[in-house]
Amino acid sequence: MAVTNDFSWSKSRDEMFRACLRRYYFHYYGAWGGWNPAGNPRARQLYILKNLQPRAMWAGDRVHRAIHAALTEIRAGGPPPDAAVAVEGLLAEMRKDFRDSLARRYLQNPRKACGLFEHEYELDIADEQWKEIADHAVHCLQTFFASEISAQICALPADAWLEMEELASFTLDGIKVYVQLDFAQRTANGVTLNLTYNGWNLIEESDATGALQQVYVHGARVDELLTKISGTSAVYFHADGLGSTVALTDETGSVVESFTYDAFGAATIRNASGVAIQTSGYQNRFMFTGREWLSDAGIYDYRSRVYSPTLGRFLQTDPIRFSAGDVNIYRYCGNNPTNLTDPLGENGKDDKKKNDITWKVDVTGDGKIKGNIGWDYNNGNISIGVGLNGGNQGGKWGGGGETHGKISF
């Protein structure tokens, strides 16, 4: 079957497109067919170059592969991995990669032989720096095997494993979307929940049989939740200036659950009696700035990436990189979470508040406009102005710009 270069979407592809259009073109189109040694020489060169890895990325990839190999053995019914054996295997693979790259074997077989950026461009890297990379890789692997999540995975029954490094795809608006999960397992209670979205907005939850469980009603603004309907009952959302859910009320208007947050979004939930509880009794998933709270993972879904209120930062780099205007591409809203929001996970903005409202009344006399009276609201300031034809007009709705009153709050 002929291989075709069909357009598709994935998170990594989207991030590369946003970061550098030239690199995106070379990676997905210019290098196409370069795996064939007898093919186009330019495509072959681009294919070799796109498969190069800097040493830090190479080490991370090797740790990832070592963990995958260990989990594959466990899934097949093998014993829990021996950390010492896994570390030796990791170092053996890294030594082989280093030798292959140093000998430029990737020029003949870029699909199988490792090629390191530092060797291709003959960078002067001291032996101590290479050793630091290897030591760091060993530390990462040992940390995983000593972690709680590793012990939990080893204890999983066979039927609880769902996916591990399996490339899957679905079609959205005629475009194929690729997804590859590192690892997925069934929840402890074995409940399957299907979520239906309209664009970015969650509108329905249903069980494994397709039976409707919850329906969500959204307002006109981003992340403006109004109502959640469950069967014959409903709860209503109440939000603060940032759009964070602060209360749920029932049909009588009584508060059935309330929410408070620290500066970076860690929530405290209280029931109708004001007693702090661990999880929402109404299965509310929309909390800080109106975003979805993933309670099992302890993170918020900010669409383009996820956010940890414990760390007070995103867990992935900003997909628009430095175009967001912040040199720290993990930072949440420029460390100004009490005033800014970032509903797309791309750029902290004051987009939960109205920034500019202008109101003006024309003053007439003898059938002609003699002047105007009005006020302007901009970023927390109210400017009140009075202007007459032939004189200065106050506020941004005027021409000259004389402000006769200002109230700040």
Written as one string, the DSSP assignment of 169-196 is EEEETTEEEEEEES-EE--TT---EEEE
pTM over 0.75? The answer is no
On whether both 76 and 107 belong to a single domain, the answer is yes
Which of 139, 159, 179 represents a domain boundary (last residue)?
Answer: 159
pLDDT the model gives residue 373: 52
Whether residue 103 is predicted with pLDDT greater than 50 in this model: the reply is yes
Does 153 lie in the same domain as 192? no
User: Of 310, 331, 352, which residue constitutes the final position of a domain?
Assistant: 352
Task: Answer yes or no: is 364 within a domain.
Answer: yes
Cα(268)–Cα(289) distance, rounded to whole angstroms? Answer: 14
DSSP string, 357-395: EEEEEEEEETTEEEEEEEEEEETTEEEEEEEETTS---S
* Residue 175 within any structural domain of the chain: no
In this structure, is residue 384 part of a structural domain?
yes
pLDDT at 374: 53
Please tell me whether residues 225 and 327 are part of one structural domain: yes
What is the percent of the chain where pLDDT is above 90? 53
Average pLDDT of the chain, as a whole number: 84
Q: Which two tokens stand for residue 141?
A: 């692997």
**CB–CB of 377/353 below 8 Å?**
no
Q: Tell me which of 187 and 53 has the higher pLDDT.
A: 53
Closest by CA to 210, choosing from 185, 193, 197, 189, is: 193
Residue that is last in its domain, among 159, 174, 208: 159
Q: Are residues 333 and 361 in the same domain?
A: no
91-105, 219-233, 290-304: range with highest mean pLDDT: 91-105
317-372 tens-digit pLDDT:
888 888 888 889 899 999 999 999 999 898 765 444 433 344 444 455 555 545 55
Residue 194 binned pLDDT confidence (cut-offs 50, 70, 90): confident
Give me the percent of the chain exceeding a pLDDT of 70.
83
Give the DSSP letter of residue 3: -
90: containing domain = 8-159
Q: Which stretch of 34-38, 324-328, 375-379 has the lowest confidence by average pLDDT? A: 375-379
Shared domain for 258 and 338, answered yes or no, is: yes
Q: Does one domain contain both 33 and 131? A: yes
* Mean pLDDT of all residues in 175-192: 76
Name the domain count of the chain. Answer: 3
Q: Is residue 38 part of a domain?
A: yes
pLDDT band at 392 (very low <50, low <70, confident <90, very high): very low
Q: At 386, is the pLDDT very low, low, confident or very high (cuts 50, 70, 90)?
A: low
* Better-scored residue on pLDDT, 81 or 52: 52
Residue 248 in this model has a pLDDT that exceeds 90: yes
Find where tokens 């570390």 sit.
87
Residue 271 has pLDDT above 60, yes or no: yes
**With bands split at pLDDT 50, 70 and 90, how would you rate the model's confidence at 22?**
very high
Determine the average pLDDT of the residues in 207-234: 90
pLDDT value for 340 = 92
Pair 198, 82 in one domain: no
Mean pLDDT of 222-237: 93
Query: Are 50 and 195 in a shared domain?
Result: no
On whether both 339 and 402 belong to a single domain, the answer is no
Same-domain check for residues 274 and 404: no
Residue 182 falls inside a structural domain: no
> H/E element holding 239?
strand 233-239
Report pLDDT for 51.
96
Per-residue pLDDT at 377 exceeds 50 = no
pLDDT of amino acid 292: 93
Let me know whether 125 and 271 are in one domain: no
Residues 120 and 198 placed together within one structural domain of the fold:
no
Q: Is 169's pLDDT higher than 80?
A: yes
